[in-house]
Amino acid sequence: MPKESASQTAGPYVHIGCVPSFAGLKGRGPDLGAAMVTDATRGERITVEGYVYDGAGAPLRDALLEIWQADADGLYASPAETRGTADPVFTGWGRQPTDGETGLYRFETIKPGRVPWPDGRMQAPHLSLWLVARGINLGLATRIYFADEAEANAGDPLLARIDPPSRVRTLVAERQGDTYCFNIHLQGPGETVFLDV
């Protein structure tokens, strides 16, 4: 049986292949995943933004981030979703680079509904996040939870596994108005919890 192909770094020029407009390559329309919502998408509009910091505390200005999430009712737009039909005008997938000067990333999306854990318990609302950049040999997966969902977060089966519990806060975005701030720390005392997805 074959083994999974080995991962390799996306390198500094991932933008050419994944967000060609951002790399200055014009003429093929908008980049995939650039816009997640339309006026018809159901759900509460939110903005998620932040920085990805390296071990020296510098923001990455060459990273690419993707999010994957359920719709407002907690349904995924995927053939593997068997509980119902997701909002037809919401793919649940977004892709954004960090700003080449400041390092800020930003997603305009909706607050997701709750999705079950394999045993049937409901998970807290969350976004799945995936991150690649020069120097990252295997794409890093993590999740974004929401600070104003404290009760759901307290009962979330994944968050409950984090040891020590003080690291849970690395997966919780703070709310400021309609914007959630979520910073990722690749190393250091506040290293983000990454997932063996």
Partner 1 sequence: MTTFLPRDPKVHPPAHTPGYKSSVLRSPRLPKLSFENSLSEATGPVFGHDLLGPLDHDLIENYAQPGESAIGERIIVHGRLLDEQARPVPGALIEVWQANAGGRYRHKKDGYLAALDPNFGGCGRVITGADGAYAFRTIRPGPYPWPNGANDWRPAHIHFSIFGQGWAQRLITQMYFEGDPHIALCPIVQTIPDPAAIDALTARLDMGATVPMDARAYRFDLVLRGHRQTFFENRVEGA
Cβ closest to partner 1, residue 9 vs residue 179: 9
Residues 139-158 that bind partner 1 (CB under 8 A): 139-141, 143, 158
**Cα(87)–Cα(181) distance, integer angstroms:** 26
> Which CB, 27 or 177, lies closer to partner 1?
27
Cα–Cα distance measured from residue 143 to residue 161, given in angstroms and rounded to the nearest whole number: 14
Among 37, 48, 72, 91, binds partner 1 (CB under 8 A): 91
- The whole-angstrom separation of Cα 41 and Cα 102 is 30
Region of 14-22, 43-51, 144-152, 174-182 interacting with partner 1 (CB under 8 A) = 14-22
Are 110 and 45 spatial neighbours (Cβ–Cβ below 8 Å)? yes
Which token pair is 184? 């990722």
The answer to whether 37 contacts partner 1 (rule: CB under 8 A) is: no
Q: Based on CB atoms, which residue is closest to partner 1, 101 or 151?
A: 101
Q: Which of 107, 95, 133 shows the shortest CA–CA distance to 49?
A: 107
Contact window for partner 1 (CB under 8 A) among 102-110, 128-136, 145-153, 173-181:
128-136
Whether 55 contacts 186, CB under 8 Å: yes
Q: Is 110 in the site for partner 1 (CB under 8 A)?
A: no
192 binds partner 1 (CB under 8 A): yes
**Minimum CB–partner distance for residue 146 and partner 1 (Å):** 15
Neighbours of 19 (CB within 10 A): 19
How far apart are the C-alpha atoms of 167 and 44, rounded to whole Å? 28
Per-residue contact track with partner 1, 46 to 85, x per CB under 8 A? Answer: --------xxx-x-x-x---x-x-x-----xxxxxxx---
Q: Per-residue x/- marks for partner 1, 172-191, CB under 8 A?
A: --------------xx---x
Binding segment toward partner 1, per CB under 8 A, in 17-25, 40-48, 147-155, 175-183: 17-25
52, 63 contact by CB (below 8 A): yes
Based on the shown chain and the rule CB under 8 A, indicate whether residue 161 belongs to the binding site for partner 1.
yes
Length of the chain: 197
Cβ neighbors of 160 (< 8 A, separation 6 or more) are none
